[in-house]
Amino acid sequence: MAMTLLGKRLRKQPGGPRRRIRPTANGGLFLVCLLVIFLLAINHSNNLLFTFCFLLGSLLIISFWSNLRNLRGIRGQCAGVEPVHAGQSLRYGVVLQGRDTAKRHQLQLGDQPALLSLQGDQHQRVELSVETRQRGDYPASMLRLSSCWPLGLFQGSVVLCQLPEALVYPRAEQLQELQLRSEGEQAHRRDGTDSLSGLKEYQPGDNLRRVHWRALARNDQLQVKQFDGEEGLPSGWLHWEDTAGLGHEARIRCLTHWVLDSFNRGLEFGLRLPGLRIEPAAGAPQLHRCLSALARIPEAGR
């Protein structure tokens, strides 16, 4: 009856996430030793062994309940994640907070090797790094918080929060020189809705009316304004066919490098992929559109 009530308490905490607790390897060895000592005490009717056995049993119970209390009332929330390229680590910002003033010890976030401490009900922001190996959508997952405190005999864990789905861009690799096909026409027509997309360094021949004078006064650098959709910017295309001599994944890595190169040069570019056409534009939104499209290209043979 007592174990049934304990199981219900562990499975469902009022207002809290689901938790679980299990013995560690050291905890299992401790239990075996405790059982052997108990059998020896019965066999020899030795009061000293009985006393020692009950003392160890008390430590086991204290360790069990202390581990439960160490994880009780902790709340977590993921603050978001930015896209990265394959081979880099996704960095989730996780905010932890305790429900009361009790200090929490030796907390492990996911598979991270570092142990944390949480001071009462204060907010604490932690960065969680997750390695990536391939491009595409990184699936959402549940983040668990675990602890073996105080004696390492039990490992308790609790579902802290859900890590959102993230996007992993392809890895960039310079396999060919940049090939930006010019269409021989303006990229856009001015429609009165152009927005500032960024700044670039002044080049001889740039319109002086677009010089950003505040930037000049602030950091002594001569920069000119760039507008998304401005008249006069040449339109160029990055073509899937221009990488025909490479393998499937190599073509994606090459196009990724071309997209980044075009963006860094301040060019206005479009992207043509099998079954997809992204119109020429400039700025960070265009960079994200193109890299997202490259990341989601199906693998070869699919």
Query: Quick one: pLDDT band at residue 5, thresholds 50, 70, 90?
Result: very low
The region of weakest confidence among 32-36, 99-103, 106-110, 236-240 is: 99-103
For the segment 251-265, the average pLDDT, to the nearest whole number, is: 95
Residue 260: is its pLDDT beyond 60? yes
Query: Quick one: pLDDT band at residue 209, thresholds 50, 70, 90?
Result: low
Residues 6+ apart with CB under 8 A from 256: 85, 169, 170, 171, 172, 173, 291, 294
- Judge residue 78's burial from the number of C-beta atoms within 10 Å of its C-beta, 0-12 exposed, 13-18 middle, 19 or more buried: middle
Residue 127's pLDDT is: 93
CA geometry: angle at 47 spanning 44 and 50, to 5°? Answer: 90
Q: Cα(274)–Cα(176) distance, rounded to whole angstroms?
A: 20
Contact criterion met (CB below 8 Å) for 138 and 166: yes
Residue 232: is its pLDDT beyond 60? no
Residue 130's pLDDT is: 94
Residue 38: is its pLDDT beyond 70? yes
Residue 183's pLDDT is: 59
Q: Cα(210)–Cα(231) distance, rounded to whole angstroms?
A: 13
Total-model pTM: 0.73
Query: What's the whole-number average pLDDT of the chain?
Result: 85
| Residues facing 238 on adjacent strands | 271
Residue 121's pLDDT is: 81
The region of weakest confidence among 23-27, 112-116, 221-225, 290-294 is: 221-225
Residue 235: is its pLDDT beyond 80? no
Query: Quick one: pLDDT band at residue 40, thresholds 50, 70, 90?
Result: very high
Query: Quick one: pLDDT band at residue 208, thresholds 50, 70, 90?
Result: low
In SS3 terms, the chain reads as CHHHHHHHHHHCCCCCCCEEEEECHHHHHHHHHHHHHHHHHHHHCCHHHHHHHHHHHHHHHHHHHHHHHHHCCCEEEECCCCCEECCCEEEEEEEEECCCCCCEEEEEECCCCCEEEECCCCCEEEEEEEECCCCEEECCEEEEEEECCCCCCEEEEEEEEEECCEEEECCCCCCCCCCCEEEEEECCCCCCCCEEEEEEECCCCCCHHHECHHHHHHHCCCEEEEEECCCCCEEEEEEHHHHCCCCHHHHHHHHHHHHHHHHHCCCCEEEEECCEEEEEECCHHHHHHHHHHHHCCCCCCC
Q: Where are the domains of the chain?
A: 12-169, 181-194+229-295
Residue 16's pLDDT is: 45
For the segment 152-162, the average pLDDT, to the nearest whole number, is: 95
Structure tokens at 274: 């099998």
